[in-house]
């Protein structure tokens, strides 16, 4: 994670983004089940708090109060197919090799494991603000957050997911207010209008994808099959009891 993003989240702009993303993570991860869940980056905020997996880890490339593991996101200290859920809050757009991070996520996820990504939308008012920032005569400082990030579009992420064998499951956009440093409350009316009139122009997005393994099929008995098995077992038990009684009477 780029230096300075943690501090930016404490600003009015950052709180505005964080509030929406936290609510979206809470909705999505609450219904994802398994044994192990990992959050990469931004460990001072718990985006796994609504998840009910018994083992939840927070991994970062620097030490923090909540980071249980310190590691680079493109070299994760997990075995192949050992994690059920990975969340990436604004990790890809501030990484030098975002595609390599997704490859590593694909490696550690179990078949049918899930990944949830949040990022800034380049096709939004915030994306336009970033372009103007890049056109300044003076070079941008590395700490010019969040405009120094490499914004990835949802379509590009979907292409990367498809190449790695993921199936995009769901997603949504949010934060339609302009990137004003002050007075964001007066723009709150744009949230409802944005969802209705320009749903793909939100400043941020959240996208969920599932790792598919070709040739693998999870077989789960349906209810009528379970009833049939139980009935046949009961019949065998009754027949065995009758046979034993006849042998005793003889």
Residue 132: pLDDT band (50, 70, 90) is confident
Q: How many CA atoms lie within 13 A of 24 on its CB side?
A: 23
pTM over 0.85: no
Q: Among residues 157, 100, 150, 111, which one has the least CA distance to residue 130?
A: 150
Residue 139: pLDDT band (50, 70, 90) is very low
Poorest-pLDDT segment among 19-28, 79-88, 135-144: 135-144
Residue 229: pLDDT band (50, 70, 90) is low
Which residues contact residue 183 at a Cβ distance below 8 angstroms, ignoring those fewer than 6 apart? none
Residue 59: predicted pLDDT:
93
Residue 140: pLDDT band (50, 70, 90) is very low
> What's the mean pLDDT in 39-56?
95
Q: Among residues 97, 194, 215, 93, which one has the least CA distance to residue 152?
A: 93
Q: To the nearest whole percent, how much of the chain has pLDDT over 90?
A: 58
Residue 142: pLDDT band (50, 70, 90) is very low
Mean pLDDT across the chain? 83
Virtual CA dihedral for 160, 14, 130, 95, nearest 10 degrees?
-40
Q: Is 80 exceeded by the pLDDT of residue 157?
A: yes
């Amino acid at each position: 994670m780029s230096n300075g993003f943690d501090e930016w989240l404490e600003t009015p702009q950052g709180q505005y983004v964080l509030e929406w993303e936290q609510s979206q993570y809470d909705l999505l991860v609450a219904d994802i089940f398994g044994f192990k869940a990992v959050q990469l980056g931004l460990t001072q905020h718990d985006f796994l708090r609504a998840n009910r997996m018994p083992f939840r880890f927070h991994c970062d490339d620097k030490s923090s109060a909540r980071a249980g593991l310190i590691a680079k996101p493109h070299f994760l200290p997990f075995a192949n197919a050992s994690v059920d859920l990975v969340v990436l809050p604004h990790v890809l757009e501030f990484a030098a090799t975002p595609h390599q991070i997704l490859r590593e996520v694909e490696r550690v996820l179990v078949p049918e494991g899930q990944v949830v990504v949040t990022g800034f939308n380049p096709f939004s008012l915030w994306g336009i603000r970033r372009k103007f920032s890049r056109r300044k005569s003076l070079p941008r400082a590395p700490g010019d957050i969040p405009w120094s990030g490499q914004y990835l579009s949802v379509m590009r992420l979907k292409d990367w997911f498809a190449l790695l064998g993921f199936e995009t499951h769901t997603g949504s956009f949010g934060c339609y207010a302009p990137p004003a440093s002050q007075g964001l409350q007066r723009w709150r009316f744009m949230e409802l209008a944005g969802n209705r009139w320009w749903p793909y122009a939100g400043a941020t997005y959240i996208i969920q994808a599932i790792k598919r393994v070709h040739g693998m099929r999870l077989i789960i008995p349906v209810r009528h099959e379970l009833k049939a098995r139980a009935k046949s077992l009961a019949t065998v038990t009754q027949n065995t009891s009758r046979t034993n009684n006849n042998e005793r009477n003889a």
